[in-house]
Amino acid sequence: MKKLFLIIGAPGSGKTTDASIIAGKNDNIVHYSTGDMLREEVASGSELGQTIDGFISKGALVPLNIIIDTIISAIKQAPVDNILIDGYPRSVEQMTALDELLEKEDEITLVSTIEVRVSEEVAKDRILGRAADAKPGEERSDDSVEVFYDRMKIYTDPLAEIQTFYTNKNLLTVINGERELDPIVAEMEAFVKENI
Ligand code: AMP
């Protein structure tokens, strides 16, 4: 049985960093970031990558069929049973689509959706800090102040509905992301390990 943890959080919440540290420390946990998987496809230069790039560079969500294919193939190919996926769901449509898929799927259980919560202020400072610190060639096309507000709005708009949906299923776990990295990672890691 595969055990799935979804990790959501505003741009700059640190969700990808937190999850990759946890997977790096635990052989029985694997981590996939939707943003990283999509950027890899863009970097491959494929036609699909070019399509994806058109959305990412504007801060827009890639279409549902692309993101569903991306996460399903990651889950199917996961080398271990405990899977952290960060960056999904980012819309009510994505949440519903995954819920319907999981209903039909006996081999995958959604254990929890972990929300790494930060204020817009903290998110913005971190994103603009990341943009200023990026090495030449490693800049992200979407780490600019203009695109930040679009990404933040896209994150915030469906958030209440996503929170309500998972709260009603007893599947929402909120972690305070406005702390130093270590205590955030420690809390998330403890929660994941207690529930696998
Ligand atoms: P991130 O690295 O999580 O900030 O994601 C970077 C970009 O990838 C987002 O702004 C979207 O363009 C795209 N993306 C990541 N996750 C998703 C998703 N679940 N659905 C649609 N687009 C996504």
Which atom, in ligand 1's list, is nearest to the CA of 39? 8
151 is in an annotated binding site: yes
Burial 184-196 (b: 16+ CB within 10 A, else e): bbebbbebbeeee
Query: Which residue type is seen at 48?
Result: L
CATH 3.40.50.1470 at 2-33+81-194, yes or no: no
If you compute the radius of gyration of the chain from its CA atoms, what whole number of angstroms results?
16
Which tokens belong to 178? 């406005």
How far is 29 from 188, CA to CA, in rounded Å? 13
**Given this model, what pLDDT does residue 135 score?**
86
Let me know if 100 is exposed, middle or buried by CB neighbors in 10 A (0-12, 13-18, 19+): exposed
Does 117 appear as a known binding residue? no
Rounded CA-CA distance 161/142 in Å is: 25
Q: How far is the CA of 108 from the centre of ligand 1 (A)?
A: 23
The atom number, within ligand 1, closest to the CA of 142 reads 10
Q: How far are the Cα atoms of 65, 104, 185 from residue 181, in angstroms, in the given order?
A: 34, 37, 6
Cα separation of 112 and 78, whole Å?
Answer: 18
Residue showing tokens 């903290």: 122
pLDDT, position 144: 83
Predicted pLDDT at 117: 98
Q: At what angle do helices 92-104 and 64-77 cross, to 10 degrees?
A: 40
pLDDT (tens, 9 = 90+) of the chain, 196 residues, equals 999 999 999 999 999 999 999 999 999 999 999 999 999 999 999 999 999 999 999 889 999 999 999 999 999 999 999 999 999 999 999 999 999 999 999 999 999 999 999 999 999 999 988 888 888 888 877 878 888 999 999 999 999 999 999 999 999 999 999 999 999 999 999 999 999 9
The protein residue with its alpha carbon nearest to ligand 1, atom 20, reads 61
The confidence score (pLDDT) of residue 1 equals: 93
